[in-house]
Amino acid sequence: MYSEKVMDHFNNPRNVGEIEDASGVGTVGNAKCGDIMRIYLDIDDNGIIKEAKFKTFGCGAAVATSSMATELVKGKTIQEALEITNKAVMEALDGLPPVKVHCSLLAEEAIHAALWDYAQKNNIEIEGLEPPVSDISEHEEEENY
């Protein structure tokens, strides 16, 4: 069902983890739907993304798209990172099954959310960047295990 590239990024995910004192962190998705992605970015003074890490709760495609998205943004400028679309992530993975396309959208959103967080922290405006829409507040209420 998945391409070899997807399987490779699922089995050997690149950039799993956290960045302490990250320049920007973005969390998107919703535990209710079964996918949450969190991307950490370390951005230097010249606006270059030095490091990207992720944590993901989700299916195989969600893990693979997070892994690929973090690979794609590393070394890019903020503007270049903004231009990475879900299509680019999918193409880099040699495609996704139709029901998994939303995972690539989530990856794109996660990058944008992390950049938004960076812009907020530094009080700057990034051209063409919209505030993130997804939030995961819903899962907080239901921790009565």
Residues that bind other proteins (CB under 8 A): 10-11, 13, 16, 18, 27, 31-38, 54-63, 99, 139, 142-143, 145
Catalytic-role residue among 19, 69, 103, 114 = 103
Distance of alpha carbon 13 from alpha carbon 67, whole angstroms: 5
Using the minimum distance from each CB to other proteins, give the nearer residue, 123 or 145: 145
- The distance of closest approach from Cβ of residue 57 to other proteins in the complex, given in angstroms and rounded to an integer, is 5
Single out the residue of 106, 34, 42 nearest to residue 68, CA to CA. Answer: 106
Catalytic-role residue among 1, 17, 33, 124 = 33
- The distance of closest approach from Cβ of residue 71 to other proteins in the complex, given in angstroms and rounded to an integer, is 15
Using the minimum distance from each CB to other proteins, give the nearer residue, 36 or 82: 36
Distance of alpha carbon 18 from alpha carbon 43, whole angstroms: 14
* In contact, 4 and 94? CB cutoff 8 Å: yes
Distance of alpha carbon 82 from alpha carbon 128, whole angstroms: 8
